[in-house]
A and B are shown apart, each in its own frame.
Chain A
């Protein structure tokens, strides 16, 4: 095995690092969804680390595939992930709030209730 410092090697290693980082963030998101006390809090875990995790995984895949048609598809997945995740989180958060599925003991302020 040769250890030439070629761009392809660098891209492979960066891709591998992105894949691992993305997987770890997705794992943390899963733990958050499991551990957080109520639905709205869980949606935090399901949006932020999860989206960044998916983006890092996509970056890793793109760095290893390196063909134009795959890059287009990967970019598309990323764009739709960014555009849809907050909408889904808001819909679920709203439904959870209206359904009373949140732990009021852990709420410091609720200005929506004062409306």
Chain B
């Protein structure tokens, strides 16, 4: 499967080949690093073992290629990381509080949110980040329509639902600002966070 989002046709030709080689090289580097960290020290033996394991993993468990059309933006990554930590702490304290509050039964809701950038990478990263941050959990994704079905905990009224939608779009904007391409960033910024895109 050469997976790519419905919005981005898979690139072909020499550039795609180069991109695939680059992705594999990154995967090998990461796997070798993990192998060395797991053994606890960097040595030639571990380096060799890591390379063997990495090659084995890539040969026997090939992953669908992820089209990465964007670029890493240091400032966007920093903002994303900082907000992620802040919201992880806030969400954790919130859930911890309602867990121990006597006699409190939280109400919840499932809302559908359409993402503005329908690529696989954006869908996956946004879903991943959302599950860890503000009171939201993904119960279902619609890959073709780029819709996330989000379970929201502790809903107290319609305002909280609107707020949850807004939160999802804000997280998506931060993801795109960190790793998206210029075109994707324009796409995200052109639709206000409190409006449903068509």
The digit string for A61-82, where 1 denotes a CB below 8 A from any CB of B, is 0000000011011011000001
| A45→B97 CA distance, assembly (Å) | 10
| A49→B89 CA distance, assembly (Å) | 8
Please tell me if the beta carbons of B96 and A25 are within 8 angstroms of each other in the complex. Answer: yes
Interface residue total, chain A, C-beta cutoff 8 A: 46
The interface residues of chain A, by DSSP majority, are classed as helix
Please tell me if the beta carbons of A41 and B153 are within 8 angstroms of each other in the complex. Answer: yes
Please tell me if the beta carbons of A73 and B37 are within 8 angstroms of each other in the complex. Answer: yes
Please tell me if the beta carbons of A29 and B127 are within 8 angstroms of each other in the complex. Answer: no
Please tell me if the beta carbons of B40 and A69 are within 8 angstroms of each other in the complex. Answer: yes
The digit string for B89-126, where 1 denotes a CB below 8 A from any CB of A, is 10111111111100001111111100000000000000
* CB nearest to A84 among chain B residues: B128
Inter-chain CB contacts under 8 Å: number = 135
Please tell me if the beta carbons of B105 and A49 are within 8 angstroms of each other in the complex. Answer: no
Interface residue total, chain B, C-beta cutoff 8 A: 43
* Residues of chain A within 8 A of B161, CB atoms compared: 108-109
Question: Contacts A47-B132, A90-B137: A109 and B41 contacting too (C-beta < 8 A)?
Answer: no
The reply on A85 being an interface residue by CB < 8 A is yes
The reply on B151 being an interface residue by CB < 8 A is yes
The reply on A110 being an interface residue by CB < 8 A is yes
Within the complex, the shortest CB–CB distance from B169 to chain A, in Å, comes to 15
Question: Contacts A109-B161, A112-B139: A37 and B99 contacting too (C-beta < 8 A)?
Answer: no
* Residues of chain A within 8 A of B139, CB atoms compared: 40, 90, 93-94, 96-97, 112
Please list the residues of chain A having a beta carbon within 8 angstroms of any beta carbon in chain B.
25, 28-29, 31-32, 35-37, 40-41, 43-45, 47-49, 51-53, 69-70, 72-73, 75-76, 82-83, 85-87, 89-90, 93-94, 96-97, 106-115
19 more contacts with CB within 8 A, not counting A45-B99, A47-B131, A97-B139, are A25-B96, A28-B95, A37-B105, A40-B139, A41-B153, A44-B95, A48-B132, A53-B92, A69-B40, A76-B34, A85-B132, A89-B137, A90-B138, A90-B139, A106-B105, A108-B108, A108-B155, A109-B111, A109-B155
